[in-house]
Structure 1
């Protein structure tokens, strides 16, 4: 997860569609793209949680129509995706990697780059992320985050993602469940990419390789005297989650305190001395 939300810039257009799953170095990848392409990058996990509330609401609208059931759904998804991603040079992380096919139609000249790591270690990491997300959708945390813009809709967003496009791609209906995590997600994501992305267009990138392989893929010079960004996605997500819960509880404390003061102010004055 990135450290702060990116802001779109007029005139910028998407040059890279990040097709990598979460926990594959997407935060480092995002910052690297921002440096190389000189523009803002839309990191899905960051934008849907601490970006303007319109981000998560737009994705909720999109996910309400995926899987696609009609031509009207398809048209709505394309139009909304175009609006959400306008002004960025790159798109990474969830839910972007679930809409690679649609994004290629919108940005036919963009490169498709899938960040990768060891699939088995990824499965362990995504299991931990799944536990964090599950905790984030329990009743207490729904209450705690209700006063935090964007995050108040987080459980709705996750529910729709799992029941919709994520489940469509990674949890076939005949198995009777949605695979939120596990090696099966990795394998099915790779199958999805090989099915929808032309072989010559699909690029795989391991962030441990640093600047050179990424610059070669983008046909840009290697930055001089700039270290490749190294962000631990797992630590960043955990730190972010704890900070947002504290923020939410503090806002509730302030709101309830203010309500108590107002309530006391409405009590009729009592004559202590007569």
Structure 2
């Protein structure tokens, strides 16, 4: 694993995944990869939550990983892949809370209405998110505090020489400088707005 994302969901992780793959650092693992292969991936992440991770199996065929579940295991992953570079995607806390509440938490809060085949994935996802400090029933203020606490914990755990704090609105420059690669042609990818999030969820449940 060459690059690992420590930023939680709804901080531009899908855009970063697309960018890393465009830079030749893919395939890049993302929660979408879990949804597309739930039979294999969900048990592996449940084991990781039980402190029995099999990182080579989880990331088989991947060069990088972003988003949850990865973001909840940054400390363990740094110990396992000490030479990997870490990227902490972030954004304004209040904007993040609004996006997180209206997408991820809303989707996972609908477990009782979800198809049975999604229940194991939803349970795992809720546990992963709780591991990062976010649980159903928390207020928006508590989510914002948790968001900043997660970011601070990442900053404390990962050496500055191996960590890029990054907002996708900054574009290619900081990312390419950090990775030591040339800036590609074209604009930095912008993907997975709230509409696209729900489309991905529907595809995963299909």
Does structure 1 residue 202 correspond to structure 2 residue 163? Answer: yes
Q: Is the 8 A contact 1:114 1:204 kept in 2?
A: yes
Q: Is the 8 A contact 1:40 1:88 kept in 2?
A: yes
1:94 maps to which residue? 68
Which ranges in structure 1 are unaligned for 5 or more consecutive residues?
A: 1-13, 66-72, 172-176, 248-274
Equivalent residue runs for 1:175-190 within 5 Å: 179=138, 182-190=143-151
Per-residue CA deviations over 1:112-159 (Å, capped at 9, x if unaligned) read 111111111111111112112211x12x31xxx23x5xx352233134
| The 10-residue stretch of structure 1 (195-204 or 18-27) with the greater mean CA deviation from structure 2 | 195-204
Q: Is the 8 A contact 1:33 1:41 kept in 2?
A: yes
Find the residue that maps to 1:37 and give its secondary structure: coil
Mapped to 1, the partners of 2:126 and 2:47 lie a distance apart of 13
Mapped to 2, the partners of 1:124 and 1:86 lie a distance apart of 34
Mapped to 1, the partners of 2:17 and 2:161 lie a distance apart of 23
The number of residue pairs the alignment matches comes to: 203
Q: Is the 8 A contact 1:82 1:106 kept in 2?
A: no
Equivalent residue runs for 1:214-225 within 5 Å: 214-224=175-185
Per-residue CA deviations over 1:83-126 (Å, capped at 9, x if unaligned) read 21232111100011110111112211111111111111111111
Shift of 1:161: 2.8
Does structure 1 residue 166 correspond to structure 2 residue 132? Answer: yes
Which ranges in structure 2 are unaligned for 5 or more consecutive residues?
A: none
Does structure 1 residue 211 correspond to structure 2 residue 169? Answer: no
C-alpha RMSD of matched pairs (Å): 2.3
Mapped to 1, the partners of 2:138 and 2:161 lie a distance apart of 29
Per-residue CA deviations over 1:205-227 (Å, capped at 9, x if unaligned) read 11112212211111100113x33
**TM-score by structure 2 length?**
0.87
By relative contact order (CA 8 Å, sep 6+), the higher-ranking structure is 2
Equivalent residue runs for 1:103-114 within 5 Å: 103-114=77-88
**TM-score by structure 1 length?**
0.67
